[in-house]
Amino acid sequence: MALNRVVVTGLGALTPLGKTLPEFWDGLQNGVSGCDYIQQFDVSKFKTRFACEVKDFDPTQYLDRKEARKVDRYCQFALIASDEAVKDAGITKENVDPDRVGVIFASGIGGLITFQEEVINFASGDGTPRFNPFFIPKMILDIAAGQISMRNGFRGPNYAVVSACASSTNAIIDAFDTIRLGKADIIVTGGSEAVISAAGVGGFNAMKALSERNDDPKTASRPFDKDRDGFVMGEGSGVLILEKLEHALARGAKIYCEIAGGGATADAYHITAPHPEGLGAKNVMNDALRDAGMKPEDIQYINVHGTSTPLGDIAETKAILSVFGDQAYHLNISSTKSMTGHCLGAAGALEAIACILAVTKNIVPPTINHFTDDPELDPKLNFTFNTAQEREVNAALSNTFGFGGHNASVIIKKYKP
């Protein structure tokens, strides 16, 4: 069967770099760090006392007060970013069929803050089970998809995707497949995460996954630097409006770019560590290229998973060299996590948006906080250190990898009629 072409017609972003899409892009291209000391809870006894938080966030500036109280912080982020994306796409009740508009949305963890609060309240009481009646619907990670659909009246396919830090890339791929198979005209997709809490920071500290550079938070996320010591936790939401090309043209929608293909694989190796040779990463990039009908030389930019962990950065670099060969030396590579931190289940969506803007504006955002070359990394690779670079970007690939060995990659290319 002939597959539909799928384009991006709307974007929304609520991030540590800013609470709108233009603020997010401004921060990325100017190499701004979103990291600072944590304000959401007392971190004085924690090994890590910093993160990339969404700054000065007041949900009642965007949502009705009663509505805001009924959803977790991660869902508040999702609703606000989706509002921006839907508006950006120019979607109205008059120009779409709500039965043909769906929501496929992701989170790696969901309402962890709500879960923590309710358990603490119960444990500090007399044992009488007094729980908030919204406890369960606030906590579950599919509720963002449900809330977005109810807010807009979208009655098409609706579900959540979870694959740890690959979650929102998998959601984008599912949305892409749903449209190209003709099961919907439009899908609102992306991801949201908000787990900067005692449980979140404490849990990742116990795994020794987080940077402990408490004396200099803004430079703590330093992918590919010799002295990297773990990732920096981030939070936020990224939302994309994916649309069948013919439908977008018929309603005169603005088109950012085209989704070319996607891939998904497993390492089948370890619950948290990557395969040391980057086998799963290699396979997923090859899978995405095959799906897109593209060759390595068709790609100009890779937004890497690049979390700033000692093992992960090396494994991903090995995979890139294996897939791209000599073409790897003609690529721009960057990790925007150096600025946003690792937004977990929202990372894939935010990094896909970074790729979309790189393709549309021909600017590659940098990998900031590079101070010392790592002798284990190939010095001929262009990691776009510290400063954005202008170049023609016809196609970009975004990598995301998650605990459990989940790998997902999506390819974005310039739209050509």
> Could you give the residue numbers annotated as active site?
165, 305, 342
Structure tokens at 348: 């894939």
Question: Which residue, 255, 100, 241, is CA-closest to 181?
Answer: 100
Q: Residue 347 is which amino acid?
A: A
β-strand 101-106 against 158-161: which pairing, if any?
parallel
Number of neighbouring beta carbons within 10 Å of residue 129: 6
Judging by beta carbons within 10 Å of its beta carbon (0-12, 13-18, 19+), is residue 337 exposed, middle or buried? buried
Tell which residue, 12, 5, 191, 184, has the closest CA to residue 102.
184
Token pair for residue 198?
């005692």
For the chain, how long is the longest CA-to-CA vector? 66
Is the separation of the CB atoms in 35 and 16 below 8 Å? Answer: yes
Q: Which of 277, 281, 335 is nearest to 306 (CA)?
A: 335
> What does the alpha-carbon distance between residue 216 and residue 223 come to, in Å, rounded to a whole number?
15
